[in-house]
Structure 1
Amino acid sequence: MRLPDFSPSLTQQTDSAGRQVAPSRSRVLWLSCVAHAMHDGYTDMIYALLPVWQADFGLDFAALAILRGIYAGTMATLQLPAGRLAQWLGSRATLALGTLLAALGYAVAGMSGGLLGLCVALAISGSGSSTQHPIASGAVSRTYGRNARGPLSIYNFSGDVGKSALPAAISLLVTMMPWRHALWMVSALGCVIAVVIALFFPSIPRAAPVDVEAPDHRRSTAGSGFSLLFAIGVLDTAVRMGLLTFLPFLLKAKGVSLPMVGTALALVFIGGAAGKFACGWLGARMGVIGTVLVTEGGTAACIVAVMFLPLALTMALLPLLGVMLNGTSSVLYGTVPEMAAPERTERAFALFYTGTIASGAISPVIYGFLGDRIGVHGATFATALTALAIFPLALALRPHLAVEERR
């Protein structure tokens, strides 16, 4: 699908017959991608800052876990309120304010003098980041309508760009200046992006444009269809986070050194970023169900292969493992709009992201307890079984999708 050119208008446009058409699509997509990269970068930047804060404030590992949990917890729990806020203020204002709040949270962190100040700062930043996923993904979905799967894959890929860029940037900056000054620099960048969003993000109507109106089947099947999609998203996230918990231990058992573990994980993440980008477009051509079955089946096969293959073949397989691990998510995110009426898109995305974020936080703990009971190999094999458990859910989802998807 070819992306349309930028349009100079910032508001809803009309054609020669006076009918409403979609706002400037490319501008919605690319500004949503910028917001996604910034917010996801802020989210993962904490990992690079934890050692700095531990050394500066003398924090123990429990305190560091609290800091990470506060950011993730506020971001997850406020997704639904953020969707409701967008219905009142509009997507542009909510996304701009959320980006500004996320940036100011890190500015406050740069002024903090201890654990309490950091907790408050990260709660502020996490609250701001809660707006991005439901608002930006909902805006892309409503703008592109039934053709949103491909653009949503680009949107999801942009988050991985931010996760790679900002932690690397802050790690470099703290070697060149005090960490507080480094935080103020990345906070200033977020403030600039918030202003850009406020000025240039197109106003998007609550109802879908006439040419992308939701089909009747969406209204009749949204409840049960969304529940199945939600369950698939939760299990898919659990597989990904559970495997990443055990992968370093599997590699160490094969004789991989600690620096090489980092390289191996980088290979998985590179493949994951490619998977998010490619599988969204693949889903638009191959169908949601077919793509999910391929990626989840491939995930299970790659997990088993990583457990038993020799080291050289395992390292070669890791990028493909990343593609399979992350590929499903783009297809699922692109299907969320089919399960909701256009005016409830933000709420649907908020629910979906809340479930996947919560799964990402809880599933490593569950698999960790399982690993203590049956060992690393047994728990890793359980992640492969979880991937296969998605098969019947995906097949049950098929009747709830569009007619074109079922053919």
Structure 2
Amino acid sequence: MDATDSSSSPRPIAPPASATRTRVLWFSCIAHALHDGYTDMVYVLLPIWQADFGLGYGALAMLRGIYAGTMASLQIPAGRAAQRWGSKAVLAAGTLLAAIGYAVAGLSGSLAGLCAALAISGCGSSTQHPLASGAVSRAYGRDARRPLGLYNFSGDLGKAALPALIALLVTVMPWRHGLWLMAGLGAAVALVIALFMPASRPRSQAPARDATEPMRKAPASRGFRLLLAIGVLDTAVRMGLLTFLPFLLKAKGATTPMVGTALALVFIGGAAGKFACGWLGARAGVIGTVLATEGGTAALIIGVMLSPLPLTWVLLPLLGVMLNGTSSVLYGTVPELVPADATERAFALFYTGTIGAGAVAPVLYGLLGDHIGAQGATLATALTALAIYPLAIGLRSHVHADL
């Protein structure tokens, strides 16, 4: 009788699965917007740091590389930490650490302190991409392509909003104070994630050989390698161009607030590019979309280089559409090229490669810029975009939508 009464006693009612996965998506989007905004705030700050520390293009690109490099190197360890402590806890802690890094940057009085602060913030941001995208992928299963597209779109919103906000703040207060305000925003987002995001833990790899074998083999498939190579070059183009864009605009007579506005236009165009490439991908397929966006990127980079400042304002949103739109179809294709139980690892590898490219490419382009100037290095980014063509054609036979 007692057993019957015990079994029939009221229990907490779990939220519907659809409501839970919607919450996972929205909090993942919030995290993505903040972390991507944090990452691209650096571009607005580069000319300011150049004036404060007297740095060349190579050194400035290295500052950007420190953030992206630490972020890239800890993608896979972040996934392992999530298997032990859960995605929610690791993501919240990483978000707080990223905010602390920017607070330390505001306190730093030397170039070495600034480098350490960017490394701290990059470590924190390493948690976001693999954990948030993996959480969305697990929550939606085979229906994850559209939610992942929304997740990627949210990153572009952060890229548009936070660089524009810091550009505005540095016109009314010292840049250090502006960074403290941005750090406070990050701490608030970390608290919200810790309190309200549904708990999630990636599936751990089973010890049996037959269970782990797909995890080892899947990300090494030829299709995945080609996709990763395209992602690496696409990221290199984007990060290399954004490193030089503020200086190209300054040479045309743009002020710091105008540079912030210009970056916002690029990222707003990138956000629109997510939708445009989703529409184009449904009609032209993944490969057709990649070919169109990379060719458009190369053409518009050259157009921005050669155009006067008034025409540049018109071209920047179009450049953003091409520059950022490719990534949405690339990320959405990752689950198609690996088994379901390899998705988490495949995303970690993909983000490690692409974010690693975001760390290395600006340094290489920056050193090139020290030798041939900003215009020549920017032209090199356009040529890199065209180098993606043979890789995209080789990927065609591996993508179901383009068979």
TM-score by length of 2: 0.76
2:336 matched to which residue of 1? 338
Q: What SS does the corresponding residue of 1:258 show, helix, strand or coil? A: coil
Query: C-alpha distance in 2, partners of 1:114/1:242?
Result: 25
**Which residue of 28, 33, 36 corresponds with 1:37?**
33
Q: Render the CA deviation track for 1:125-176: whole Å, top value 9, x for unaligned.
A: 2211110111111212222233323322222222222233333434545566
Higher helix share: 2
What is the CA–CA distance in structure 1 between the aligned matches of 2:240 and 2:107, rounded to whole Å? 36
1:324 to 322, 325, 341: 322
1:348 aligned onto 2:346? yes
Query: What letter corresponds to residue 324 of structure 2 in structure 1?
Result: N
**SS at 1:70 equivalent:** helix
SS at match of 2:387: helix
2:103 & 2:119 partners in 1: Cα distance?
Answer: 12
Is contact 1:153–1:281 with CA below 8 Å preserved after alignment? no
User: Partner of 2:55 in structure 1?
Assistant: 61
Q: Name which of 188, 191, 199 aligns with 1:203.
A: 199
Q: 1:203 to 1:222 in 2, by over 3 A?
A: farther
Shift of 1:233: 0.7
- Deviation of residue 95 (structure 1)? 0.8
Q: Match for residue 299 of structure 1?
A: 297
Per the alignment, in what secondary structure is the counterpart of residue 221 of structure 2?
Answer: helix
Out of 87, 92, 95, the residue aligned to residue 91 of structure 1 is 87
Structure 1 residues 249 and 39: CA distance shift in structure 2, 3 A: closer
Question: Matched residues, percent identical?
Answer: 70
- Comparing 136-145 with 372-381, which one deviates more in the overlay? 372-381
Q: Secondary structure, in 3 states, of the residue corresponding to 1:257?
A: coil
In structure 1, what is the Cα distance between the partners aligned to 2:173 and 2:255?
26
Which range moves more in the overlay, 239-248 or 193-202? 239-248
Q: Could you say what secondary structure the match of 2:388 adopts?
A: helix
Length-normalised TM-score, structure 1: 0.76
Q: Structure 1 unaligned runs (5+)?
A: 1-7, 14-20, 209-215
Shift in Å, 1:83: 1.7
Distance (Å, rounded) in 2 between the aligned partners of 1:190 and 1:313: 35
Alpha-carbon separation, structure 1, partners of 2:184 and 2:27: 17
Residue 101 of structure 1, aligned match among 97, 100, 105: 97
Q: Distance in 2 between matches of 1:54 and 1:248?
A: 12
How well do the aligned residues superpose, as a CA RMSD in angstroms?
Answer: 3.9
Q: Match for 1:193: what amino acid?
A: V
Deviation per CA, 1:277-306: give whole Å up to 9, x if none.
432454355421221122123223434555
My pick for the range that moved more, 29-38 or 149-158, is 149-158
How far the C-alpha of 1:323 sits from its partner, in A, is 1.0
Where 2:76 maps in the other structure, the secondary structure is: helix
2:295 is matched by which residue type in structure 1?
A: G
Stretch of structure 1 that moved more, 322-331 or 269-278: 269-278
SS at match of 1:190: helix
**Could you report, residue by residue, the CA deviation over 1:339-368 in whole angstroms, capped at 9, with x for unpaired residues?**
333344333222222222232333344445
**In 2, are the aligned partners of 1:242 and 1:363 still within 8 Å (CA)?**
yes
CA distance in 2, matches of 1:170, 1:392: 39
The one-letter amino acid paired with 1:61 is: L
Q: Give the Cα separation in 2 of the matches to 1:76 and 1:230.
A: 14
Query: Aligned pairs, how many?
Result: 377
The amino acid of 1:40's aligned partner reads D
The AA in structure 2 aligned to 1:328 is: T
Instruction: Give the letter aligned to residue 229 of structure 2.
Output: A
The 8 Å contact of residues 206 and 342 in structure 1, kept in 2 or not, is answered as: no
Given the superposition, is the C-alpha separation of residues 107 and 231 from structure 1 closer, same or farther in structure 2, using an over 3 Å criterion?
Answer: same
1:77 paired with 2:64, answer: no
3-state SS of paired residue (1:61): coil
Matches within 5 A, 1:388-407: 388-402=386-400, 405-407=401-403
**1:5 matched residue in structure 2:** none
Aligned partners of 2:244 and 2:374 also within 8 Å: yes
Q: Which residue of 2 aligns with 1:17?
A: none
Equivalent position to 2:139, from 135, 138, 143: 143
Cα distance in 2 for residues equivalent to 1:153 and 1:391: 23
1:258 aligns with 2:241: no
Residues 27-64 of structure 1: CA distance to partner in whole angstroms, max 9, x if unpaired? 11111111011112222334555677788xx6442786
Q: Quote the Cα distance in structure 1 between the aligned partners of 2:300 and 2:105.
A: 41
Residue identity matched to 1:334: G
Aligned amino acid, residue 101 of structure 1: L
Displacement of 1:331 in angstroms is 0.8
Relative to structure 1, the CA distance from residue 165 to residue 83 in structure 2 (aligned partners, 3 Å threshold; closer, same or farther) is same
Is the 2:34–2:186 contact (alpha carbons within 8 Å) kept by the matching residues of 1? yes
Which moved further from structure 2: 71-80 or 380-389? Answer: 380-389
Aligned to 1:27: 23
Assess if the C-alpha contact under 8 Å between 1:23 and 1:143 holds in 2. Answer: no
Task: For residues 47-100 of structure 1, give each alpha carbon's deviation from its aligned partner in whole angstroms, at most 9, with x where no partner exists.
Answer: 555677788xx6442786665443332212111211221222221121111112
Which SS does the other structure have where 2:163 is aligned?
Answer: helix
Letter in 2 for 1:396: G
Counterpart residue type for residue 293 of structure 2: T
Q: Could you tell me which residue of structure 1 aligns to residue 288 of structure 2? A: 290
* Counterpart in the other structure of 1:274: 272
User: Does 1:239 find its partner at 2:237?
Assistant: yes
For residues 366-377 of structure 1, the aligned pairs below 5 Å read 366-367=364-365
Work out whether residues 109 and 118 of structure 1, in 8 Å CA contact, stay in contact via their aligned partners in 2: yes
In structure 2, how many angstroms separate the alpha carbons of the residues matched to 1:150 and 1:275?
A: 14
Residues 77 and 354, structure 1, Cα contact 8 Å, conserved in 2 = yes
